[in-house]
Chains A and B, each alone.
Chain A
Amino acid sequence: MLKICNTIVTPTFLFTILIVSFAAIAAGSDQPGDTVYPEAARPKDPGVPEFFVPPPPFTEGIFPCSECHAEMDVDTERRELGMHEEQQALKHAGPQQWCLDCHNPDDRDKIRLISGQLISFEESYLLCGQCHGTIFRDWKAGVHGKRTGEWNGKKLYRLCVHCHNPHQPAFKPLKPKQPPMRPADIR
């Protein structure tokens, strides 16, 4: 009898624990008005490739941003900045864009999607992809941007910001390598 009890009770007990824990998890994540959900719970884009060339190309000494910004008040006013000279000339979508459209005022070490989701700088492609959807699609497929590594295996992708300065995304002209010799000059 004891044996039978054991075999019946044990699974039931375990099941109860499971139910309770599920309920707890559900209650914990179900906070009203909270649009920011933890990173692990965010649905991953299945098309996003696994391989990157980390880390994002920050200007030296600029990250983490909170090192300075944690102490500062948030000023949402559009204005000339006393800092970040390299970003003074913001040439991205003209007057429609401003710092806080992408940068997050409350946690400066993250960037923010339109939905309010916070993402890390390592995932900045999600932010760029909000406006540049067709490019994002091509990038995921491997057609936009540079790939190195193996054509049939491990590929190294780059973040958008590895090639495009997010504040002035147009590609800078390059000096071309020397032209070939003319046949007449080849001896």
Chain B
Amino acid sequence: MSRKIRHNPMGIKLNRRNFLKGTALGVTASALPVKKADAGFLDTFFQEHFREMSKDEIEEVLTRLEKEYTETYKKSVSVQATPPLPGVVFGYGLDLSRCIGCRRCVYACVGENNQSRDPQIHWISVLRFKKGEKWSDLEESEKYYNPAKVPEPGYFYMPVQCQQCKNPPCVRSCPTQATWKDPDGIVVIDYNWCIGCRYCMAACPYGARRFNWGAPKVPNEEFNPNTHYLGNRPRYKGVVEKCTFCVQRSRVGKYPACVEICPVGARKFGNLLDPQSEIRYAIENKRVLRLKEELNTHPKFYYFFAT
């Protein structure tokens, strides 16, 4: 191999190998946004996929995020990574004969899950349909109704959120495996691995996923400091988010926020594997439907009619 020293106009003596090495390093370094190149940024940049991290690595990430969020939101923030409970598959029930379309659930969800206020993101859409008309086509529904009082005579309401499919098309469409279905049936997203391609949004037949078009903004005083890594922790600009059945609550035994706020008790939640659960009672005793069953997505979100 030739060790010929090349002479350049600046008089620096470099051999070919060192020159190439230096160039490669320089190019790599310039690809990183240098302004943000503190230790935290590099840790984030080289962070592994959530499911490939060891317990210690996850712990390290959580600590780092807690510190970061505590500084940003000026309050003590906890970031958990509570694993799925064994022997639990979550199911959700929504009583269409009771829902009055008051949208309390929408805003309880926004508050609990730290959804961006500006640009606005809502995980739940409440759709209004005229009674007696064909309503299987969700496109025909009204989402922006705003009467003085609900329920309005002659209409009924159907809230739609992530259906936590057993066979989720969004998971299959993700090119980076940033979204997956956990053993308790919740479809979760690692916001650090989402590249924002929005294939999952195109794949979801329920329109349940939301994209952060801008940097999400949540006022400090409204920020919910009880967060989960795969759920309601702050999101980044350019990532997709969606309902997780309030993973930070349901995995520690609590009802999701939308269940607790519903003034008419239309929302039911529980373990599909527990024959004594409310959701099993509803499925076994009431008239039940799942949205777009023909698509073979097997939603775990059951709409029912109690009357």
Q: Which residues of A are at the interface with B, using a C-beta cutoff of 8 A?
A: 138, 141-153, 163, 171, 173-182, 186-187
C-alpha spacing A166/B282, complex, angstroms: 26
Partner of B143 from the list A143, A151, A163, A179 (CB cut-off 8 Å) is: A179
Chain B residues positioned under 8 Å from A145 (CB to CB): 265
Say yes or no: A151-B120 contact (C-beta < 8 A), given A146-B264, A177-B102, A180-B144. Answer: no
Central interface residue in A152, A171, A173, by most chain B CB within 10 Å: A152
Chain B residues positioned under 8 Å from A152 (CB to CB): 88, 253, 270-271, 274
B235 to chain A, nearest CB (A): 16
CB pair B281 A180 closer than 8 Å: no
C-alpha spacing A179/B106, complex, angstroms: 10
C-alpha spacing A170/B254, complex, angstroms: 30
CB pair B282 A150 closer than 8 Å: no
CB pair B150 A174 closer than 8 Å: yes
CB pair A180 B125 closer than 8 Å: yes
A148 to chain B, nearest CB (A): 5
Instruction: Tell me which residues from 278 to 292 in chain B have a Cβ below 8 Å from any Cβ of chain A.
Output: 278, 281-282, 285-286
Listed A/B pairs (18) with beta-carbon separation below 8 Å: A138-B285, A142-B278, A143-B95, A147-B278, A148-B255, A151-B253, A151-B278, A152-B270, A152-B274, A163-B263, A163-B264, A175-B148, A175-B149, A176-B149, A177-B104, A177-B106, A179-B103, A186-B119
CB closest residue in chain B, given A145? B265
CB pair B262 A174 closer than 8 Å: no
C-alpha spacing A174/B250, complex, angstroms: 28
CB pair A151 B306 closer than 8 Å: no
CB of B122 within 8 Å of the partner chain: yes
C-alpha spacing A187/B118, complex, angstroms: 8
C-alpha spacing A13/B271, complex, angstroms: 54
Say yes or no: A180-B286 contact (C-beta < 8 A), given A171-B100, A174-B150. Answer: no
CB closest residue in chain A, given B271? A152
Main secondary structure of the interface of B (DSSP, over half): loop
CB closest residue in chain B, given A148? B260
Closest 5 CB pairs of A and B: A146-B265, A173-B149, A142-B278, A177-B103, A141-B281
Chain B residues positioned under 8 Å from A179 (CB to CB): 103, 143-146
Chain B residues positioned under 8 Å from A178 (CB to CB): 103, 146
C-alpha spacing A179/B281, complex, angstroms: 33
Partner of A173 from the list B106, B151, B268, B274 (CB cut-off 8 Å) is: B151
CB of B147 within 8 Å of the partner chain: yes
Say yes or no: A143-B278 contact (C-beta < 8 A), given A150-B253, A186-B213. Answer: yes
CB of B259 within 8 Å of the partner chain: yes
CB pair B122 A180 closer than 8 Å: yes
CB of B193 within 8 Å of the partner chain: no
CB pair A180 B282 closer than 8 Å: no
Chain B residues positioned under 8 Å from A176 (CB to CB): 101-103, 145-147, 149-150
Sample of 8 further A-B pairs with CB below 8 A, known A150-B253, A176-B103: A141-B285, A143-B95, A149-B255, A150-B255, A151-B270, A173-B150, A174-B100, A177-B103
Chain A residues positioned under 8 Å from B101 (CB to CB): 176
CB pair A182 B144 closer than 8 Å: yes
CB pair A151 B277 closer than 8 Å: yes
C-alpha spacing A138/B285, complex, angstroms: 9
Chain B residues positioned under 8 Å from A138 (CB to CB): 281, 285, 306
Q: Mark B95-131, 1 if CB is under 8 A from A, else 0.
A: 1000011111011000000000001101001000000
A30 to chain B, nearest CB (A): 38
CB closest residue in chain B, given A140? B281
C-alpha spacing A152/B91, complex, angstroms: 13
Instruction: Tell me which residues from 186 to 213 in chain B have a Cβ below 8 Å from any Cβ of chain A.
Output: 213
A142 to chain B, nearest CB (A): 4
B13 to chain A, nearest CB (A): 56
CB closest residue in chain A, given B260? A148
Say yes or no: A144-B306 contact (C-beta < 8 A), given A173-B149, A179-B145, A186-B213. Answer: yes
Say yes or no: A143-B281 contact (C-beta < 8 A), given A173-B151, A174-B100. Answer: yes
C-alpha spacing A174/B150, complex, angstroms: 5
CB of B229 within 8 Å of the partner chain: no
CB pair A180 B106 closer than 8 Å: yes
B215 to chain A, nearest CB (A): 13
Chain A residues positioned under 8 Å from B151 (CB to CB): 173
CB of B269 within 8 Å of the partner chain: yes
